[in-house]
Chains A and B, each alone.
Chain A
Amino acid sequence: MRINLSRKKIRNSFVDKVQELSGQNLLACYQCGKCSAGCPAVDEMDILPNQIIRFAQLGLKEELLASKAIWICASCLTCNARCPKGINIAEVIEALRQILLRNRKDHLKVEKLSDKEKEDIPPIALICSMRKFTS
């Protein structure tokens, strides 16, 4: 992957928005990698949790908002539990999803679920999925 860094990106409003929505100080991260080491979802992720934090520090908005990883994270909070700097990584990932969802970029296409699926899947899963993946 080719990544362009610039002072402009690092200082753009996207970084502020992520910090504000997540309530986290991105610069506290020293890239130890513990969050990714404990994350059960890394097999499926294109950008790992520690990389998400690094990308966010650097204002790499396009890469983050196009990533698969932010939709694979299930907010299990293992990363938060393990971070030695007390950073809530799951909150940062939630902020990224919210930036897309608040622009009506839904991830789950409810209309594509069959009647059979809607019947078999318990409400707890459907409500959860809609809360996380739709606006």
Chain B
Amino acid sequence: MKICYYPGCTLKNHAKNFEDSTICALNTIGVEVEELSRWNCCGTVFSLTTDDLIHHIAPIRNLIRVKEANYDKVMTVCAMCYNTLKRANERIKSDPESMDILNNFMDREEVQYDGDVQVFHLLEFLKDEIGFENLAKKVVKPLKKLKIASYYGCLLVRPKEIGLDDMENPTILEDLMETLGGKPVDFPYKTECCGAYQTVDRPDIIADRTNRILTSAKDRGAEMVVVSCPLCAFNLDQRQKHTVEKYPEFKHIPVLYFTQALAMALGCPEETLRFDLNFIDPKPILKERGLI
């Protein structure tokens, strides 16, 4: 099986651990990944004002690229890309007038866009196309009951029309962690926003949120947290540095991309897991369990 993949910018630099672990995991289960040969940043956020059509151009152009590559579906891994591409697609599909305006604006594109590309997330692919029960058979290094809290943040689950699971109580990540042999830890902050882009000019707010979210996960017994968004990862992992400055009693906890846990369980070599890019080093706990 071969799938078309849209990486987005952050997976090519700060979140290279997200990309490398994704690709190794998919290859290991026999899925070939074809990255779009040409793509642009999706713009990160979906424009919420009714008249702001221009900002839907960036995501829609990427969907045109998918058609040019002869696919009718595209996989995203970053939660923000997923949300922005899928929402822009739904937005113009439900409004033919705006679709015409955009097509007229993009008059140098050779392909006309009719909303005919489907955007899906890696998690949906694993659950619906591969099936967790089949995935379980490919696990060579079960996670040995490692206690894992799954953090969804906002964009995988909201708004409801776009979300890939229940909006208030999603479980897809926990189900995946269980499939991999881990022990999912439920906690009340799994869909509470980490503060997102406030991290640029208000890292103090992020310190508050990170403290609240991670302390809650730890109080419920978590030994690590998994995420699906490079911005969540930055706020919950790298910003632990600010968090401990503001809250000296705060205790560090490793934050991994869910794909790092996945690739590890599937037996991918350590160089594809790229733990060197995680700020709080997960290696001590993983070594303790004999996982690396």
Contact = CB atoms under 8 A, between A and B. Distances in A.
B159 A40 contact: no
B74 interface: no
Contact of B158 (A22, A76, A124): A76
Contact of B14 (A44, A113, A122, A127): A122
A24 B199 CA distance: 29
Interface in B163-197: 167-168, 191-193, 195-197
Interface string B211-223: 0000000000000
A98 B193 contact: no
A81 B199 contact: no
A122 B43 contact: no
A107 to B, nearest CB: 8
Given A23-B50, A81-B158, A124-B9, A132 B45 contact: yes
Interface residues of B, number: 42
A124 B230 contact: yes
Given A21-B50, A124-B231, A131-B55, A40 B44 contact: no
Interface centre among B50, B52, B160 (most CB of A within 10 A): B50
Nearest to B195: A74
A65 to B, nearest CB: 16
Interface of A: 20-23, 40-41, 43-44, 72, 74-78, 80-81, 88, 90-91, 94-95, 98, 108, 113, 117, 120-129, 131-133
Nearest to B230: A124
A72 B206 CA distance: 11
25 contacts: A22-B48, A40-B193, A72-B198, A72-B205, A76-B158, A77-B158, A78-B192, A81-B159, A94-B49, A95-B48, A108-B201, A113-B200, A117-B200, A122-B15, A123-B9, A123-B10, A124-B78, A125-B196, A125-B199, A125-B200, A127-B41, A127-B44, A129-B197, A129-B198, A132-B45
A76 B163 CA distance: 13
8 smallest beta-carbon distances between A and B, as pairs = A76-B193, A128-B197, A122-B14, A94-B48, A129-B200, A129-B197, A77-B158, A124-B10
B168 A81 contact: yes
Contacts of A43: 208
Contacts of A131: 43-45, 55
A23 B197 CA distance: 24
Given A81-B167, A129-B199, A133-B201, 16 more contacts: A22-B50, A41-B205, A76-B196, A77-B154, A78-B192, A108-B200, A122-B230, A123-B14, A123-B41, A124-B80, A125-B200, A126-B200, A127-B44, A128-B231, A129-B197, A131-B45
Nearest to B46: A75
B199 A22 contact: no
B45 A22 contact: no
Contacts of A76: 154, 158, 193, 196
A81 B160 contact: yes
Interface in B62-115: 78, 80
Nearest to B55: A131
B200 A40 contact: no
Contact of A22 (B15, B49, B80, B231): B49
Nearest to A109: B201
B159 A77 contact: yes
Nearest to A88: B48
Contact of B48 (A20, A75, A113, A126): A75
A91 B80 CA distance: 18
Contacts of B154: 76-78
A24 to B, nearest CB: 9
B120 interface: no
A42 to B, nearest CB: 12
A71 B201 CA distance: 11
Nearest to B199: A125
B209 interface: yes
Nearest to A93: B48
Contacts of B15: 122, 124
